[in-house]
């Protein structure tokens, strides 16, 4: 897996925001409908990133993938994940809650999404424009799950909106090591600085 980025830049915590992608019970808990065991194992590392960002005054934004009914799912996604047509990630259910180990604080922001990309049809861009006032956010730190789906989609979308992206490899969880490593390698070549937690904390 490549940890090097083709676009080198230095991390500036005064212009950064952290995005914690979809660390909700339906993805993380053992036996959950969309269980991602790698994400569960990465929780301690994710918690280190969240704690460090809060301590440095970096805004923390959580995303939750929430489905209100079957019409929130595209036909293509329904074909890929037919079980989601009737259950899982439903609004108002415990499955959309962030896991307790990473529980948001009152000052944190929660963005609800219904597609893989956290920018698509959400208020994320508005939040990022305003969350730091006059000092605009230009860097996004991305952790969470699923590496090759929502996390990668959000990282690519952020890059196309001219954000610098720090993708913390050991604070993201994929369906398996192969897909996780492939995503990190591709992102690191073009779209993001792929960093391990210790490297990221060292730059803060």
Domain boundaries, the chain: 13-203
- Structure confidence at residue 6 (pLDDT): 56
Tens-digit pLDDT profile for residues 40-53 = 999 999 999 999 99
Phi first, then psi, for residue 90 (nearest 5°) are -85, 140
Q: Residue 69 above 80 pLDDT?
A: no
Q: Whole-prediction pTM value?
A: 0.91
pLDDT at 1: 46
**103-146: per-residue pLDDT in tens?**
999 999 999 999 999 999 999 999 999 998 877 999 999 999 99
Residue range 13-203 forms a domain whose CATH class is: alpha beta
């Amino acid at each position: 897996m490549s940890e090097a980025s083709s676009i080198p830049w230095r991390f500036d915590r005064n212009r950064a925001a952290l995005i914690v992608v979809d660390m909700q019970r339906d993805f993380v808990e053992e036996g959950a409908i969309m269980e991602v065991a790698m994400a569960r194992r990465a929780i301690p590392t994710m918690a280190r990133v969240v704690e460090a960002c809060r301590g440095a005054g970096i805004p923390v934004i959580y995303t939750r993938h929430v489905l209100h009914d079957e019409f929130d799912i595209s036909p293509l996604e329904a074909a890929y994940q037919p079980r989601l047509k009737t259950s899982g990630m439903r609004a108002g259910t415990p499955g959309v809650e962030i896991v307790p180990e990473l529980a948001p604080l009152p000052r944190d922001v929660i963005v609800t999404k219904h597609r893989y990309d956290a920018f698509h049809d959400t208020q994320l861009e508005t939040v990022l424009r305003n969350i730091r006032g006059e000092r605009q956010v230009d860097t996004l730190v991305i952790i969470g799950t699923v590496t090759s789906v929502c996390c990668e989609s959000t990282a690519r979308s952020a890059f196309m909106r001219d954000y610098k992206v720090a993708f913390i490899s050991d604070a993201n969880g994929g369906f398996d090591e192969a897909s996780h490593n492939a995503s990190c390698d591709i992102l690191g070549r073009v779209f993001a600085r792929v960093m391990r937690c210790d490297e990221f904390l060292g730059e803060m």
